[in-house]
Amino acid sequence: MSKAVLITGGSRGIGRATALAAARRGWSVAINYVRDAQAAEATASEARALGVQAVVLQADVALESDVLALFDASEAALGPLSGVVINSGIVAPSSRLADMSFDRLKRMFDLNVMGAFLCAREAARRLTAGGSVVIVSSVAARLGSPDEYVDYAASKGALDTLTIGLAKELGPQGVRVNAVRPGLIETDIHASGGRPDRAQVLGAGVPLRRPGRAEEVADAIVWLLGDEASYVTGSLMDIAGGR
């Protein structure tokens, strides 16, 4: 029986790359999306072509009822989960904190923090020994993202703390919790922040002199999910080209 993994925000970018990397390892995948059903189904079709089960599940992880339904539907379709990848997140256009609206801040923290905590809570309730949670944080958590989005950076800082604390809570029952912290990765999240060329422009300034690819992050996530990382928990893995 293959392992099953739920990936929030699995239709595009790092989530999509993770779904396909997991499928190549023979894992069944539950692909969550909030709006882009077409992209989610395209990802699922590619996963199925690799010979695994793949289901597409709509849910807004900022809503508790959606999160509960998402986990229930994942288990109904694929059986008990072995892994959960908490990947959903948003960024907003570059701004100084002084100019950010309440609505922007609330949406940022509702999705990036509350959504992650709700998903982590459900993973904690359902995963058993050998299970693994991987949280997608960001190198912004330690850089602060001044003059761009300190709200996003702070939301990811909360996820770093969640990773450390939850790893200690779940370790005694054999469930591991780790985070990856991507740097400048070529995904469309930059376009949603108003700078579609951001990764390419800034990537030239990192020590490896280029932006990263979603697949490079996905490979690290799948390693952390798998048995090869059986003694790794509470870690914050930077995938940022030395930035």
Span 208-225, pLDDT tens digits: 999 999 999 999 999 999
If you average pLDDT over residues 142-167, what whole number do you get? 98
- What's the pLDDT band for 191 if we cut at 50, 70, 90? low
What does pLDDT average to over the chain? 95
Distance (Å, whole) CA 208 – CA 132? 30
From residue 236, alpha-carbon distances to 49, 142, 163, 220, 229 in Å are 32, 11, 8, 11, 13
Q: Indicate if 149 belongs to the active site.
A: no
Q: Classify 85 as helix, strand or coil.
A: strand
Q: Which is more confidently placed, 29 or 197?
A: 29
**What are the chain's domains?**
4-239 (3.40.50.720)
Min mean pLDDT across 8-22, 67-81, 163-177, 179-193 is at: 179-193
Longest dimension (CA), the chain: 53
Q: What is the pLDDT of residues 117-139, one digit of tens each?
A: 999 999 999 999 999 999 999 99
Could you tell me the pTM of the whole model?
A: 0.95
What's the CA gap between 170 and 222, in Å, rounded? 19
Residues 183-205, mean pLDDT to the nearest whole number? 75
Which ranges of 50-149 does DSSP label H, i.e. alpha helix?
Answer: 64-78, 102-109, 116-126, 140-143
Residues 33, 149, 152, 231: which is the catalytic one? 152
Q: Identify the band that residue 204 occupies on the pLDDT scale cut at 50, 70 and 90.
A: confident
